[in-house]
Chain A
Amino acid sequence: MNRKVIALLLGGFSLLLLATFFYGLFYASDPQSIPSALIGKEAKNFTLTTFEGQTIELKQFRGKPVVLNFWASWCVACKAEAHIMEAAHQKYTPRGAVFIGIAFNDKREDSLAFIRRYGKTYLLGPDNEVGDISLNYGITAAPETFFIDEQGIIVHKVLGAVTPEVIRDFLEERLP
C-alpha cells in the first residue's frame, strides 16, 4: 500500500476515536441517566387505592394538570423533596392542580410512618407488589416525578428530588 493511503487511514481512524472521546467528555449526556421514552406520549391510566381508602383513577383528572410523584420511605432524595411537594400541594391544589404520590416498593407501615413524619396530605397510595404502575411509567429509581398536562400528555419528567421552580414553571402557565 501507498504510504499516503496508510497515513490517511491511520490518521483518520485516530482522529475519529479522539473526536468520539472528546464528544463523550464534554458534550454527551451523563452515561448514568436514562432518557424517558414516555415524554410527549399519553400518560397511562391507572387506578390507585389511597392509604385512606379512597379509589382514584388518573382518567378522572383529565382537564387538570397533574404532578405524579413516585417515592419510597427508603429513599434519601424523597426526604429532601417531601416538604417541597407538600408545600406545592398546599399552594396549587386549591387553584386546580392535582398531586398524586405513589409509594413504590415499600412496606405499608413504613410508608405511613413517612407520611406522618413529613405531614404529607395529597393523594397518596401504594403501588401493588409487582409495581405495575411504576413499571408502566418506566421508573428507574425513586423519586421520579412526571408532569402531565390537561390533555393527559406527559410533558416533562424529573429524576431525583424536584425543585419548587420546576413545579412552578409547569403549573403557573396552566392554572388560572
Chain B
Amino acid sequence: MIIDIGYYAMLAAFLLTGYAIFAGLSGIYKNSANLIDSAYRAHLATFIMVLLSYFSLSIGFLTSDFTVKFIANNSSTDLPIFYKLTAVWGGLEGSLLLWQLLLSGFTAALVLFYKKQHKEIMPFVVTVLSLTSLFLLFMLIGWSSPFAKMLPAPGEGRGLNPLLQNPGMVFHPPSLYLGYVGFNIPFAFAMGSLWAGRQSDEWILATRRWTLVSWFFLTLGMILGGHWAYVELGWGGYWAWDPVENASLMPWLTGTAYLHSVIVQEKRNRLKLWNVLLLITTFTLSILGTFITRSGVLNSVHAFSKSNIGPAFLVFIALILVLSFLLLYLRPGYFKDPEGKASIMSKESSFLLNNVLFLGMAFTVLYGTVFPLLAEGLFDKKLSIQAPFFNSIILPLGVLLIFMMGITQVLGWKTTTNKMLQKNLAIPSLTTLALVVGSMVALAWDWQLSFLAGMAFFAGWVVLSELIKSIRAQRLHNPKPTGFWVKVWQDKRKRGGLIIHLGVVVMVLGFCGNFFGYEDAFTLYPNQSKQIRDYQLTYKGSSERQVLNARHLAVDLELKKKGVYKAELRPAKAFYPTRPEPMTEVAIYSTLISDFYVSLASYNDDGSATLNVYINPMVNFVWASLAFYIIGTFYALAYRPTQLKKQEKA
C-alpha cells in the first residue's frame, strides 16, 4: 500500500519533470514568464513527489515489506534499524533514488533561491538539470525500479550485504552522490548561460560555493570509502585501484582541476573554453562512474549484481556529449580569451600545468581501466590491469603535482620576479634537494619514497610559510589590537586554500607510511607468542559473542610493545544469519604514528589461528587530513568575492 504510493509518486515526478521541461522550453521560446513560473512550480512539485517516494521506500524497509523485490534483496528482519534506513541505498535501484532525491532537492533549492538573482539564465539552467532528472526518473519508474514487486513474497529477506553494514559505507555513497550532483550544478550553469547566449561570467561566481562544496563531498566520499575498505576488507590497505574506486577518482581529478582553473577565469578572464570542457568532463565522468560500476562491463571487488542499466546509461552518456559539444560548437564567439601576457612564471601558467597533470592522471586511470577492453577488441588479448600498473604511472605524476603545489603558492598572477622566487623558494628547495639525496644515500630509501616525502616536505614548508605570512601581514596592516577570533577569521580565501593544501601534505605523508609497512602471516596456538618488530602478540584463547545481528567467533590476542601491555585485540569471523560465508572482522590497535592491524585468516580445527598481521605506519595521517579539508573548505566558503558583493548591492 505505502509502496504503491511511492511508485505513483515516482510516476508523478517523472510526468512533472517532463512537463517542466516542456513548459520551460516553451516559456523560453515564447518569452512567457507565466510558463516559466509554471515550470518552476513543477520542479518544486517534483521534489516533493520524489521525497514522498523516498519516504515510502524507507517505510517499506522499516516494516520489512518483502513483497518489494529490492527490499527483499537488501534487508532482513534482524537488521538493526539504523541499517534498515540506510539499506535504502545499499543497492543500485535505491541509490539511483537517493541520487534523484539529491538532484531534485538541489534543483528545487536553485529555483527557490536563484530565480530572481539570475533571472535570465535560470530557466535554461534548470532545464539542463532536469534532463538528468528525466533520465534518472525514467530509469526509476521502469528500467530499474526499487518498487518492483516480487510475488510470492519471501518470508525473510536476503539481508543487507554484511560488507555494507559499516558506518563508513553508510555515508560513503550519499557523500559521493552529493559531490556528483553538486558538480552537475556548475555544469548546468555553464551550459545554461551558453544556451542563453550570455557572454558574462556571472555563472562562475554564482557556482563558486557549489563547486567548493561538491569538491569537499567528493573528497569526503573517497576518504570514507578508503576507510571502509581499510576496516572492512581485511587486507590491510585502503586503496586497491579497483574499477569502482577508479570510477570515483576520475571525476575527483577533473573536478579538482576545474577548481583550480576556474580561478584563472574568475581573476584573469581566461581559459573559458577549457573550464567549460572540464565541467563537461567531470559531469560525464560522474555518470560514467555509475555505468562502469553497475553495468558489469568491467569486473570488480564490489561484485554488485550485474544489472541491465548498461545500455541506457551508455545512451545517456552519448547524449550528454553530443548535446554539450553541439552547444560549444554553435557558440564559438563566447570563448575568446582577452589578448594579454602571462609569463611562464605566473599563477596562470602553473595552474595550466597543474591541469595537465590532473587530466593526465584522470586519463591514465580511465585508459588503464578500459584498456583490457581495447586489448580484447583490437588484439584479442585478455589482460589484467591492476594496482602495480596504476601505482607505477600515477606515483611520478603525483610527485610532480605536489612539487607544483609548492611552487604555485609563491607565484603571482601574470608574472613573478626572479627575486621573489629566490627569496621564497631558494632555502626550501635546496633543503629538499639535500633531503631527497640524503635519504636515498644515507638511509637507502626507495627513490619513490624519497621523492614523495621530499616533495611533501617542500610543499609543506612553502604552504606553512605562506600561512604564517598571511597571519603576520594582518598584524602589519592592522596594528590596533583586535579580538582573537577576528584575527583568525581574516584573509579567508587564501587561508582556506592553504589549509586544504596543508591537508594534502598531511595525506601524502600518510601515503609515505606505506613504504615502511610490514606484513606477515603466521599460525599461533593458544598461549603461543610471536615477536613482530617491537610488538609481542600472544594468543590467549577464543571467544564467541553476539554483535548486533552477527555471531562473532573471535580469537583473543594480547598485544605488548617492548614488554608493556597495549591492548586486547579480537579479530573475528562474523557469521550473519543471511549469509553462508563468514565475514572477516579486523582488529586494530591504533596510534597516530602507526596502526597494528590483525585479521583472522582462519580459525583451525586444532584450536590454532592463522593471522594476517600488518603494521601500517602513518595511515592515520590519511584520515586526519580530512580535518584540514573541513576547516579549509569552511574558510573558503566564508569568503565572498568582491564582485559578488558589488552585484548584490546593485
Contacts and interface: CB of A to CB of B under 8 A. Distances in A.
Q: CB–CB under 8 A between A and B in the complex? A: yes
Contacts of B372: 31
Contacts of B317: 18, 21
Contact of B325 (A14, A18, A31): A14
Contact of A31 (B277, B298, B314, B366): B298
Contact of B311 (A11, A14, A20, A25): A25
A25 B321 contact: no
Contacts of A25: 295, 297, 310-311, 314
B377 A14 contact: no
A126 to B, nearest CB: 19
Q: Give the interface size bracket for A toward B.
A: 20 to 34
Interface in A1-30: 3, 6-7, 10-11, 14, 17-18, 20-25, 27-29
Given A3-B332, A34-B382, A23 B325 contact: no
Contacts of A60: none
Q: Which 9 A-B pairs have the closest CB atoms?
A: A31-B299, A24-B297, A24-B373, A14-B321, A23-B377, A25-B310, A20-B373, A35-B382, A3-B332
Interface residues of B, number: 25
Nearest to B298: A31
A18 B277 CA distance: 17
A17 B325 CA distance: 15
Interface in B337-385: 366, 370, 372-374, 376-377, 382
Contacts of B298: 24, 31
B575 interface: no
A10 B332 contact: no
A108 to B, nearest CB: 15
Nearest to B295: A25
B318 interface: yes
Contacts of A32: 299
Contacts, number: 54
Nearest to B332: A3
Given A25-B310, A25-B311, A31 B318 contact: no
A21 B277 CA distance: 21
Contact of A28 (B318, B332, B366, B376): B376
A31 B374 CA distance: 13
B47 interface: no
Interface of B: prevailing SS: helix
A18 B299 CA distance: 18
Interface string B272-302: 0100010000000000000100011111000
Interface string B376-396: 110000100000000000000
Contacts of A24: 297-298, 370, 373, 377
Contacts of B273: 6
Contacts of B295: 25
Given A27-B377, A31-B298, A35-B382, A3 B329 contact: yes
Nearest to A3: B332
A7 B376 contact: no
Contacts of B332: 3
Nearest to A25: B310
A35 B325 CA distance: 40
A166 to B, nearest CB: 22
A65 to B, nearest CB: 28
A20 B382 contact: no
Contacts of B376: 28-29
Contacts of A7: 325, 329
Nearest to B371: A20
13 contacts: A7-B325, A10-B325, A14-B321, A18-B318, A20-B370, A21-B297, A21-B317, A22-B314, A23-B377, A24-B373, A24-B377, A31-B299, A34-B382
A18 B310 CA distance: 12
Interface in A92-111: none
A27 B377 CA distance: 8
B298 to A, nearest CB: 6
A25 B313 CA distance: 11
Nearest to A14: B321
Contacts of A28: 297, 373, 376-377
A14 B321 CA distance: 7
Contact of A20 (B277, B318, B321, B377): B377
Contacts of A10: 277, 325
A167 to B, nearest CB: 26
Given A24-B373, A28-B376, A11 B297 contact: no
A22 to B, nearest CB: 6
Given A3-B332, A34-B382, A21 B291 contact: yes
A6 B274 CA distance: 11
Most-contacted residue by chain B among A27, A28, A29 (CB, 10 A) = A28
Given A3-B332, A17-B370, A29 B291 contact: no
A21 B329 contact: no
Nearest to A16: B374
B314 A18 contact: yes
A29 B372 CA distance: 11
A150 to B, nearest CB: 29
B210 to A, nearest CB: 25
B382 A29 contact: yes
A20 B310 CA distance: 13
Interface in B478-493: none
A53 to B, nearest CB: 27
B279 to A, nearest CB: 14
Contacts of B325: 7, 10-11, 14
Nearest to A1: B273
Contacts of B377: 20, 23-24, 27-28
Contacts of B366: 17
A9 to B, nearest CB: 11
